Structure formats: structure tokens, C-alpha cells
Structure 1
Amino acid sequence: MDKLDIKLWSLAAKGQIVPDRSLLKTPDQIEAIKKSAALNTAVLDHVAAHICEGMNTAEIDRLVYDYTTAHGGIPAPLNYQGFPKSVCTSVNNVVCHGIPDENEILKNGDIINVDVSTILDGYFSDASRMFTIGSISGRAAKIVKVTEECVELGLKEAKPWGHLGDIASAINTHARQNGYSVVEDIGGHGIGLEFHEDPYVSYVTPKGSEMVLVPGMMFTIEPMINEGGPDFYVDEKNGWTVYTMDGGLSAQIEYMVLITEKGAEVLTR
């Protein structure tokens, strides 16, 4: 039993939730995952260079598929549990898992989350950005700004030997202080060797709760911030697209992070 095992055992004996050693990435795994993450970032940059008013969301899907495959990768969402496209495009009151569609045209004033996930040489990465189309309203600008602030505040709390709840508390507190709610039943996830791994990452739990953050852990910080209440519903026809129950705007930004001895390293954003 090495020093890390002893420390994890000691924390567990005190009632703390600790990660299984299988969730702690090795140096070789980290380097391989970083290559996937670099491609994921490049895909998002490619979308950023082309997204515009009048584009339909299926065109975004083609941008993602073509760029990813041209650089040796595979879009992780494509055919994942039956998801039909290479990227999620969530516009205005769509919380997440929007399916690209030729009939969905981006118009002046829209806000859209583009969620890109990449497999490269068998390793997974994941991040999303908010994009604003043309001249957006003050309320749309505010929710995007506050969502950005929430993710950055959560990132500051991603410290070795802290807790996942520290991240959640920072995010939920800031969102509520600005009059928003945080979606409670959809969260972040571990990633790297699989698309979705443990731990589940909530954004509504108290400071000091949940799993201890141990160097080598890798997961996403991706709160979904709603203009109104946190309730949502899933499109019955496609089984994927999540909408705000009250029709209010929703925004999401996703970072993929690695816990290190010094803090958190953002791998793709």
C-alpha cells in the first residue's frame, strides 16, 4: 500500500467519499487524453470561426464531423446510445442535447450552446461554448455572462483534497445571487477513458460534500443555468432534447479539467 492508498483509506475511514484508484489517470493516459482534448478545442475554434446568422444547426454538425474526422478523430456523440448527430446544438430555451436540424435556422438574437465531444486514439474529451448570434437582448447577454462566471468560480474551487461539493456550492450560490436556478438532475461526469465515467458531478450540493478531489481525477464542469426554474422536460418525439419547463432561456458552458497537485488544469474549454 503506497502513500496515496494510505491517505485514501484514512479519508474513507473518516466517512469521506473517495475515488476508486481506477478513476485516477496515469501520466501516460493523461498525455493521450490531452491530445484528444487539443483536437476538441480545435473543433470548437473551427465552429467559432464559422457560426453565423442564417446558418442552420445541421451545418454546425457537418463542420464538427468533417473537421474531427479529417484530423483522425471520431465525434463521440455520433450514434452514442442512439444519438443521431456529431454534436449537440442547444438554442435559447433548450437546456442540452439539442439535435442539429436543417430546419433550425440561427437568427439574430439567439444564444446557442455547442457541445463538442471527441474520441482520438480511443481517448475521450468534452467541452462546450455559448455563442451569441447578432445583437442579443440584455437578458440573453446576462445569462451567458453569469454562466461564464459560474464556471470560473467553480473552477477556482476545484482544489486537490477539496470536494466536488465545493465546486457545486460556488456555482449554485452565484447563480442564485443573480436570480437564476441551476438544473438539478443533469450534471457533469468523469471522462477520459470513456465518454461518461464516475463521478457524477452535481452543481447543487453543499460545500464540503461529495467525493474528495484527488490528483489524477478528470471530469467536466458544465452547469446548466436557467432563467426561470430548474425544471425541464424531454422531447417525447426524439427522446433527447431537453427544454426548460417554463420556456425561459438556458445557458451552459463546459470545461474538462484534471485535478493536479497544485489545482485544476483545464484540458479543453
Structure 2
Amino acid sequence: MIYFIGAGPGDPELLTLKAHRLLKQADLVLYAGSLVPLQVMDCCREDAVKVDSAPMVLEDIVAMMTDYHQRGKLVVRLHTGDPSLYGAIGEQMEALDKLGVPYEIVPGVSSFLAAAAAVKREYTVPGGSQTVIITRLAGRTPVPPEQSLAGLARHRGSMAIFLSVGMARRVQEELLQGYDAATPVAVVERVSWPEERVVQGTLGQLARLIEEAGITRTALILVGDFLVSRGRSLLYDAGFVHGYREGE
């Protein structure tokens, strides 16, 4: 079997139990070297073949996975975070489907979840935002016009912006078309890594904060009132009735 595995945001202890078990069993581990910390690779067997896929193209990756599979080896394709978010696994799965090669996906902890933990906030605040928008700014990878950052900002939900910190001024300009300049922001660099950094301020300061911190990649931009708002859930309110508790 070939397993597409989410390595989580970086901390090896945030690997799922299933991911950890499969890494220990794998004969071949193809990993995204620019994004997966070496500490995660320490979970692999010493005699496992470990290959950094950063310099490889799709055809090379598929050929290597298929070769090991045909030899009866256990193959792990290790992506960061959760493979379903900006994981580029679709074209790999399509190629394997055409070859009739079986595979399974093992989800992982996404960096946007680890980022919320790092700033000690919840995206969905009782009495506040109940919507989380996960998106990115258009760059070399296009974004549909109807999903522009400026358009999404008008919803004023809680937002986690991937793969855009290197275009901070454009991010700020588009967000200001929907959010107020005083809207709280946080930039979380290398979340859960030993060198994790969190920079916080307001949307009006966003580009300057990023530039002054020297953050150019591997960072999430969080936007929204959830960064300062707290609410009280009805779930644990004494007067709230549900199937497991009578209200007072």
C-alpha cells in the first residue's frame, strides 16, 4: 500500500498515532524536505530509504512510489499539515489511479489549527464569528476571481491565510476592502517548530509587522476579531437544556 500522510505542522508529537506507526514501518519515505522538520524523519526506521522530494517532478515521484510498491514495499508519501489543504496530492492520486496502484490517505493536524493553539484562541467565538475562511492570495497559483481575498474579507469571518506572507502588502490592501484597519491580526511563523514566532497587531500594521520581523515564508496570517474576542458558550450554561442535562 502507498500512504499519503499528513505530518502535521512540525512538532513530531503532533503526528497522529497512525502516521507514527506507518512511518516506523515504511520502507520508503518520500518527504517534502523544505517543510517537514528532520525531527519528524527521526520516527522512521534507520534502514528506511528517505528521499527529499523537493528537487523531484511529479513523474519521478510517481515512478519511485510505484517501483517500491511493485516490489512489495510499504511506501509513505509525507506531506506537511493535512494533505487535503494545499497538499498537491490530487495529481499524484490521479497518476496512481491510472496505474491501478492502491493508496490510502492519513489525515494530519493542519497548521491553521496549530496556529489557533499558538495564539490561544478559538476561530468560532460564541456570539461572534461562526465562520472560518481558509484561503490564499493569488500568486503563481491562480485563485478564482469570485474567491479573491478582497471579496472574502467582506464576510468578516475568522480567516487563516496560507502561502501569502511574502506578498504582505497585497494581502493588506485586499483585506482592507472588507475589514477595518483596527481588525486584529497575527502572523505565526513555523508553528509548533522550536523556532516558532508569533507577531500580533492590527490589519493596518500588517505589512510593516511582517517586514520588520523578516518573515518571508512558512507562516500563516490570521485575521479577525476572534483574536481578541471571547464569548460564553450556551452549552455549559446552567439554563441550557439538552439531551444530557436538564436546565435549572
Q: TM-score, normalization: structure 1?
A: 0.31
**Structure with larger Rg:** 2
User: When you count strand as a share of all residues, which structure comes out higher?
Assistant: 1
